[in-house]
Structure 1
Amino acid sequence: MVFIFSVLRINIENYIYLNGEYVKHIEDHVKNKSSYAGSFVINGTIDNIDLKGDKLKITMGCIIIHADVYDAKDLKIGNKIRVTGKVKYIQHASNPGEFDSYMYYRALGIRFILTADRMEIIDSGYNRILQYTYSVRRFCVNRLSEVFNKDTSGFCAAAVFGDKSLLDEDRYRLYQKNGIAHLLAVSGLHVGIFGMAVYMFLRKKIKLKFITCAATAGTILVVYSMLTGSPLSVVRAVIMMLTAFIAEILGRTYDLDSAAGIAGFCILMYSPYSLFQAGFLLSFSAVFSIGMVSTPVIKKYNIKNKFLYALVFGILIQLSTLPLITYFFYSFPLYGFIINLIAIPLMSIFLCTSLTALIVYIVCKPLALIIRYIPECIILFYTKLCTWFSKLPCCSVLTGRPSVFQIVIYYILFCCWLYIILYKIPDRIKKNKENIPFKNKIPYIIRYESIFIIRLYDKIRIKLKESGIKIRFILFTGLIIILPAILFKIPSFHTEIHFIDVGQGDGIYIKIGKEDILIDSGSTTNKEFGKYTLKPFLQCMAVKSIERVFITHADIDHTSGILYLLEEDNEISIEHIYLPYPALNDPKYDRIRQAAAGRKIEISYISRGDRVGGFLCISPQTDCGISDTNEQSIVLLYNEGSFKALFTGDAGKLSEEKIMSDEKICDMINNITLLKVGHHGSFTASGEEFINLLNPQVGILSYGAGNRYGHPHKEVVYILKKYNVRTYETALCGEIEVRIYKNRADISTFLKYADD
């Protein structure tokens, strides 16, 4: 029944999403212009305002409006406004590992982004309730920055009010790396404790009727949920708490798993695409792991020691959510359960003292400035704790993104282990499966497949019992060691070539055996390419170290991502950088040289005839007088059996003529399998004579949609079609993957689109 309702709700949501208010009007405009351009005017009502520093986001129906804070300072929730600006579709992620803005906003019912040039209020009427809660939230957040230092105010604003605008990004990454970033979200656990505390106070101390107590506490929780912006964890906690109140009113027993199921159903009925969000899956998997894994194990073994209780509880929750953590974040904190064991108990003290200091500050500032030292000391302790653990080996274990198959295998084995650890296995197992006393709580298919494991367990148990070792201790520790290994990315036994969708620029990642190689990585349209595209892509591929980086030339659309890894990132290392020989005395490469020297990375300069691993450099020549940066480009030929690939950087027609003047090289590059089309498809490269010589089967065009250069130029597209070159374009296909299998190239695209 739940499944039928969910499918029906998704279909309704799809209809609203595709036919909702503003949709037709905006689609007609975008189609008549382009997905990235056009001056657009629309009237609508403000649904929500989100202020983060100097960035303002306004929600209006299916549109997110990016506006200047100064221009929007008089706006209120519920105002009717006229907005003029540029509108575009929200795009899908186009590379593995990249954050999918489309699916995130899809869950919120948002389809378009509008960058406002001008806004004016046409009706000043507003929603008093929503505007009041927004104003209270802004007031409290502003006061926090007056009471506490920067780190504490940012932590408190995020943990209490769900506002991360004051949070330091480096500090957030430190907490995330060590597994306590969840403390920066409004905790459902603390919401539940707060709600129950209010209820018990009204019930026990003031002696009100339980219906009145439940209604009052429930109303306070709903108001608090609105105050925090209603994140999923808070909505879940509020619904579960309301379920607990209703259960008491009806005289029924409260069940954690049932309450979580009701909360999940309510959220999915309102926003069905939340099912695909990391926050929803992690929040509910943690709750179900408490009710179905941790609590039964602790009860089974009657664990009363507080330290051991917390340790087992934390380990089991981490193991239950580990597949989701590695799927969405590509790594897991090895010492996270230990850090949480220390950090979580302090969180209640932090919340109480920080809220007390905030309230007291309004009445008596000197007293508040004394109280503030307690939460500030706690945050300082968190930072020192995470910094210390970060220095330990394997603090954060990189797994890459596991496949769905790996996740299924993990949970099957986890369920088998859970059955063994929870239920007594008889000393002798009869051959007839029906005589095995299985419990009805475990699905039949898992029980059936577990018979071999249980028989093996029984034999081992008898042997270990004789030696005095407890089998369940072995199983528990074995689980911690063996299960996470299932989630590590399965290494490929074939060469892989990935053309990353960088926007306007080039980025190629190649996996040959155990070697990880980059040929360029940069973008002019994606300003944070290194941080939000390249690094997540490499982590998704489980890359910790890059053995070789070829920088074809110095242009920023080929180097910005590599410069990010060299200058800002400290998680992905680079062993060797190769530059074109003309760069030897060229000051345009000084920034790369300085960054490499700071990381103690070796630099080599290559020219025609140099071999690096499986690559042969065929351009440039040892001519340091080449002034045109594009003509300095390294051109690399890769051979594997009958497969041949040519990577041309931005080499132009002058470089192509020099290459064709060498008969030996002409023989090598004739009839290639794969060509990275030169200079993003510009008419300054890919001359007809050169394409005729290469006679490539496949051509890859790397460029950004709607770029100001007009790439790819129609002359190049015509030549490629004339010589029957099958083209793939990153602007249309997203990331393009080429797998070399038995001298054959298997090509797949991330966005499942190709020009035949």
Structure 2
Amino acid sequence: MLLSIRNEFRTIPFRVITGFSNVRSIVFDYYRVFIEKSFGRPIVIFGAASFIGVAFGMNLDFFTGMITCILSSVLLICLSILYPEDTIFRCARAPEKRLDKTYLVQVSFVAIVIICYGFLYISIGRYRSDCFYLRRLQEGDYDQQYFGYITDAPVFPNLDGYDSYVFETDMGVKISFASSLEGLKCGEYTEIKGQLLRHKSASNPGCFDAKSYYASKGVYLKLSASDSDIRIIRERYKSPGLFTEISNPFDSVRMWIRNAWGDVFSEEEAAVISAMILGDKSELSNELKNRFRLSNLSHLIAVSGLHVGCFLGFISSFSRISSKRKLRLIFALVTLIAFGFLTGWTASVTRAVLMSSYGIVCSIIGKRADSITGLFGSSFLMMIIHPFYLSNIGFRLSFFATLSILLVSRRMADQLSAVFPLGISSSLATMTSAWIGMLPILMTLHSKQSLMLLVICLIGTLLSQWICLLTIPLTLLMIPLSLIIPGHEAVRYLFWPIRGLVQLLLSVTEIGSFENIRALRLQSVHPILLAGIVCLMISLIIGKSFLKKILICISVINMLTGSVIQTYAFVHRPIATVIFMDVGQGDGTLIVTESKSVLIDGGEKEMAERVLLPVMNYYGVVKTDITVMSHLHSDHGGGLLALSELGRVGRIGVSAWGEGKDYEELVKGYDIERDCYILGYNDRIQIEDEVEMLVLHPDEPTCEGGNEDSLVILLRVGETGVLFMGDAGFDTEERIMSNSEIYSIITNNTDIIKVGHHGSKYSSSGEFLNSLSPTIAVISVGTNFYGHPTQEAIDRLTEAKADVFRTDLDGAIIIDIYSNKSVIQTMLGEWRNK
């Protein structure tokens, strides 16, 4: 026995060497297959290079981007040069498909040129905009005149508000502006007087990121101007080009279709149909748009490959009336291009039309179409046409979803067919594979996900397919039917099934919008854990192979590592998170604990939809447990009353209620008498074991809810105290300091202060601040005509050695409070530990 053990140990080195040699051989085989599959399809390499170049330009500064481009070039050259000559000939399936080194180097060189082109195109445009902005800023921060041609106007103008336009100055810099003027169109030479500004990133969690959105269009600057400051110089009109001239007749066709749908659908149903089939969201209410977005169904109201596929399927069936195959294919190609013009050639539509056109052209010339080549070829062509196409969120989601479907869905459907019927397994495989492809992008978009949302996405997609398949042919039938049958009553009956499907889809979005609030935010899951889950899902559909073993090993390691990190983060989560929201010239603070939520003030009325709801949805707050209005001014209470109408807040605690001018102006148009209660001195609210609120002022209201009647509240979170001053000024501060009990409480417990009255010179006295000695001071302020915050107030805060944060400059200030420290993050990028 000992002898056999000794012999076994003697063979270990040999087995290790043999095993290493086998692994090396397997890895080399995969490397060979990768080279053959990729370089054998040069269009795939060029399409991938397009993506890489645009990604470098969008996300890296010029110096870092150049270094990265050089490293990428070296990697490509190495991949082509290090490929052994004998392996090239040994592994080629046919002599005509052999890949020699000269060919590999040539393809690599073209790919390098494409990467550099994409990077330089975007970087130079951003650099030019930065120089233009700094030069204008040196001339003075005031309204100036700008001249240029309108280069981008909305295909579907909003009927009830401002539209966004882009014009290119005579110096070649693109600038956006908003206007409600009618008749603005591409090619108009425009004179605009306004203030030049940079687009800002999202200043609140879960809110719209204007900087990223416009950067994806190559626009980094905006003009703040009124309609009266915009003048069109007709004499210098310039034709916007053949493409736009061809597009103009389709506007009339689009309008006719919209009007026809308006005759047979309700207003809401017609708006949904127009968005789904024409990409026209101008008549969709903000509420409906939010419902689709929160349900993860935004792709249904943005024409994409799904809708192009439905349209192409109908056209293919219709064209079968002709017995000539090539004639049918040419007809399909022409109608497909017309559909692109009809829907405004959005990025996702352009990708789908180009890819479908590639397949049709291949059929016409008698060659087999390769879907992967068509997908990457479309991205390559789009970069040549307009590189910023590739930075569009809709295009990226559409591209990676399609790529994942092509690579994964068939094998996944085969695996699922053993459990589900064919139709269900195919739909599940398509949806899951699309989700895997979109996952990296969804993580950057603060997307949420749950099993219920996945089911809703599946149901919504199936309903959308049926709506498109039924609406397109019935809309075409309306033309002869309207001539034969006068009026639209008889025709309306044909659309009843579609109306039922649309209503069902709207019900699904309503359920999904509420489910989203409670769903898991993907950004809260560690990327390593998500990567492990995705690797495991892919490994399950791959047959037995070395790659399957590698993926399983990677998934197990990632899931274990990610689980440990996720568990550590959960155990060491903050006691409470305080979000001082950017609500413009007003106050609004959301406090989130493990199981409770508190909302103190909410800015003006319009901030409810623009800020409060997105932030509450982001943090999973369906309805606040405690709501407080510091006093009766609209810049503090307007948003709360709007939320109350929506049922998103409970009863509101106030310092005064029922009388006075401020009260009458605030509650005008609302009926919430029964939803308010009075808070005053010495009221205590226990939120969690380590979290409580103590009301320090007022004892008795004296100003009918004015500034000096502001609720002064001390929030205690563990050993940290946050003092909310509302709009209180010197008078309230003196009353607080004159009360020895209150004075003792705040001097021993105040670490963070929400500065009173937006940094007015009549608040935050030096004596008051020095007695508190806060380490952090937050000023909630926006653009205003009062001079807030005043330099006097800022100087007093600085003298008290407080770190000053401002919502107008820093965006929302988010403070995670732990048992022994506070971590401060601002939405515009700064982190601090205290």
Q: 2:217 aligns with which of 98, 104, 108?
A: 108
**Residue 507 (str. 1) matches residue 585 (str. 2):** no
CA distance in 2, matches of 1:404, 1:315: 23
- The equivalent of 1:469 in structure 2 is none
Q: 1:354 aligns with which of 466, 475, 478?
A: 475
CA distance in 1, matches of 2:385, 2:321: 35
**Residue 67 (str. 1) matches residue 182 (str. 2):** no
CA distance in 2, matches of 1:740, 1:395: 28
CA distance in 1, matches of 2:509, 2:318: 40
- Give CA deviations for 1:117-136 in whole Å, capped at 9, x if unaligned: 23222324424541452343
Question: Contact 2:405/2:430 (CA < 8 Å) preserved in 1?
Answer: no
- The equivalent of 2:306 in structure 1 is 189
Question: Contact 2:753/2:776 (CA < 8 Å) preserved in 1?
Answer: yes
1:691 is displaced (CA, Å) by 1.3
1:291 is displaced (CA, Å) by 2.1
CA distance in 1, matches of 2:765, 2:340: 63
1:750 is displaced (CA, Å) by 1.6
- The equivalent of 2:709 in structure 1 is 632
- Give CA deviations for 1:12-65 in whole Å, capped at 9, x if unaligned: 243343355x8755654455443xx51433232444344221444433232233
CA distance in 2, matches of 1:58, 1:342: 34
Q: 1:448 aligns with which of 553, 557, 581?
A: 553
Determine helix, strand or coil for the equivalent of 1:94.
coil
Structure 1 pair 557–81 and aligned structure 2 pair: CA distance change class (3 A): same
1:96 is displaced (CA, Å) by 1.4
CA distance in 1, matches of 2:191, 2:483: 41
**Residue 136 (str. 1) matches residue 209 (str. 2):** no
CA distance in 2, matches of 1:491, 1:589: 44
**Residue 574 (str. 1) matches residue 691 (str. 2):** no
Structure 1 pair 172–99 and aligned structure 2 pair: CA distance change class (3 A): closer
CA distance in 2, matches of 1:320, 1:446: 15
Amino acid at match of 1:90: H
1:710 is displaced (CA, Å) by 1.0
CA distance in 1, matches of 2:124, 2:558: 50
CA distance in 1, matches of 2:488, 2:717: 70
**Residue 530 (str. 1) matches residue 608 (str. 2):** yes
1:392 is displaced (CA, Å) by 10
Structure 1 pair 126–650 and aligned structure 2 pair: CA distance change class (3 A): same
Superposition pairs for residues 468-617 of structure 1, below 5 Å? Answer: 492-523=573-604, 528-567=606-645, 569-570=646-647, 573-580=648-655, 582-583=656-657, 588-589=662-663, 603-613=676-686, 614-617=691-694
Q: 2:235 aligns with which of 122, 137, 148?
A: 122
Question: Contact 1:46/1:81 (CA < 8 Å) preserved in 2?
Answer: no
Determine helix, strand or coil for the equivalent of 2:235.
strand
Question: Contact 2:574/2:817 (CA < 8 Å) preserved in 1?
Answer: no
CA distance in 2, matches of 1:556, 1:598: 15
Moved more, 374-383 or 667-676: 374-383
Q: 2:346 aligns with which of 227, 231, 256?
A: 231
1:690 is displaced (CA, Å) by 0.9
Determine helix, strand or coil for the equivalent of 2:522.
coil
CA distance in 1, matches of 2:320, 2:545: 43
Question: Contact 2:697/2:713 (CA < 8 Å) preserved in 1?
Answer: no
Q: 2:823 aligns with which of 736, 746, 749?
A: 746
Determine helix, strand or coil for the equivalent of 1:561.
helix
- The equivalent of 1:438 in structure 2 is 545
Question: Contact 1:740/1:746 (CA < 8 Å) preserved in 2?
Answer: yes
Question: Contact 1:159/1:187 (CA < 8 Å) preserved in 2?
Answer: no
- The equivalent of 1:38 in structure 2 is 143
- The equivalent of 2:92 in structure 1 is none
Q: 2:280 aligns with which of 163, 174, 185?
A: 163
Amino acid at match of 2:682: G
Question: Contact 1:674/1:697 (CA < 8 Å) preserved in 2?
Answer: yes
Question: Contact 2:535/2:555 (CA < 8 Å) preserved in 1?
Answer: no
Q: 1:240 aligns with which of 336, 340, 355?
A: 355
Question: Contact 1:286/1:317 (CA < 8 Å) preserved in 2?
Answer: yes
- Give CA deviations for 1:205-233 in whole Å, capped at 9, x if unaligned: 2636x4x8766644543343233221222
CA distance in 1, matches of 2:722, 2:416: 61
Question: Contact 1:607/1:617 (CA < 8 Å) preserved in 2?
Answer: no
Structure 1 pair 25–302 and aligned structure 2 pair: CA distance change class (3 A): closer
**Residue 410 (str. 1) matches residue 530 (str. 2):** yes
Structure 1 pair 268–59 and aligned structure 2 pair: CA distance change class (3 A): same
Question: Contact 1:727/1:755 (CA < 8 Å) preserved in 2?
Answer: no
- The equivalent of 1:98 in structure 2 is 207
Question: Contact 1:49/1:77 (CA < 8 Å) preserved in 2?
Answer: no
Question: Contact 1:178/1:335 (CA < 8 Å) preserved in 2?
Answer: no
Question: Contact 1:737/1:749 (CA < 8 Å) preserved in 2?
Answer: yes
1:728 is displaced (CA, Å) by 1.2
Choose between structure 1 and 2: higher helix proportion.
Answer: 2
Question: Contact 1:286/1:320 (CA < 8 Å) preserved in 2?
Answer: yes
Determine helix, strand or coil for the equivalent of 2:753.
strand
CA distance in 2, matches of 1:268, 1:656: 61
1:391 is displaced (CA, Å) by 6.5
Q: 1:679 aligns with which of 740, 749, 757?
A: 757
1:644 is displaced (CA, Å) by 2.3
Question: Contact 1:56/1:66 (CA < 8 Å) preserved in 2?
Answer: yes
Question: Contact 2:271/2:281 (CA < 8 Å) preserved in 1?
Answer: yes
Question: Contact 1:608/1:618 (CA < 8 Å) preserved in 2?
Answer: yes
Question: Contact 1:554/1:629 (CA < 8 Å) preserved in 2?
Answer: yes
CA distance in 1, matches of 2:301, 2:164: 21
1:308 is displaced (CA, Å) by 3.1
Question: Contact 1:727/1:754 (CA < 8 Å) preserved in 2?
Answer: no
CA distance in 1, matches of 2:471, 2:422: 21
> TM-score, normalized by length of structure 2?
0.73
- The equivalent of 2:64 in structure 1 is none
1:171 is displaced (CA, Å) by 4.3
CA distance in 1, matches of 2:720, 2:765: 23
CA distance in 1, matches of 2:513, 2:198: 44
Superposition pairs for residues 324-339 of structure 1, below 5 Å? Answer: 327-330=445-448, 333=453, 335-336=455-456, 337-339=458-460
1:237 is displaced (CA, Å) by 0.6
Moved more, 402-411 or 677-686: 402-411
1:153 is displaced (CA, Å) by 3.0
Amino acid at match of 1:583: W
Amino acid at match of 2:353: V
Determine helix, strand or coil for the equivalent of 2:702.
coil
- Give CA deviations for 1:644-698 in whole Å, capped at 9, x if unaligned: 2211111111100100101122222226321111111001211121112112222
Moved more, 738-747 or 327-336: 327-336
Question: Contact 1:640/1:743 (CA < 8 Å) preserved in 2?
Answer: no
CA distance in 1, matches of 2:292, 2:572: 29
Structure 1 pair 617–369 and aligned structure 2 pair: CA distance change class (3 A): same
Determine helix, strand or coil for the equivalent of 1:140.
helix
Structure 1 unaligned regions, length at least 5? 424-436, 455-481
Determine helix, strand or coil for the equivalent of 1:63.
strand
Moved more, 136-145 or 86-95: 136-145
1:518 is displaced (CA, Å) by 1.5
- The equivalent of 1:401 in structure 2 is 521
- Give CA deviations for 1:516-553 in whole Å, capped at 9, x if unaligned: 11121214xxx732212221112112222311112111
CA distance in 1, matches of 2:528, 2:673: 41
Question: Contact 1:40/1:87 (CA < 8 Å) preserved in 2?
Answer: no
Moved more, 328-337 or 508-517: 328-337
Moved more, 675-684 or 46-55: 46-55
CA distance in 1, matches of 2:448, 2:391: 17
How many residues align? The count is: 693
Superposition pairs for residues 632-671 of structure 1, below 5 Å? Answer: 632-670=709-747
- Give CA deviations for 1:401-444 in whole Å, capped at 9, x if unaligned: 32275355234223313423553xxxxxxxxxxxxx4254x5x7
Moved more, 584-593 or 41-50: 584-593
CA distance in 1, matches of 2:338, 2:572: 50
Structure 1 pair 751–396 and aligned structure 2 pair: CA distance change class (3 A): closer
1:296 is displaced (CA, Å) by 1.6
Question: Contact 2:759/2:788 (CA < 8 Å) preserved in 1?
Answer: yes
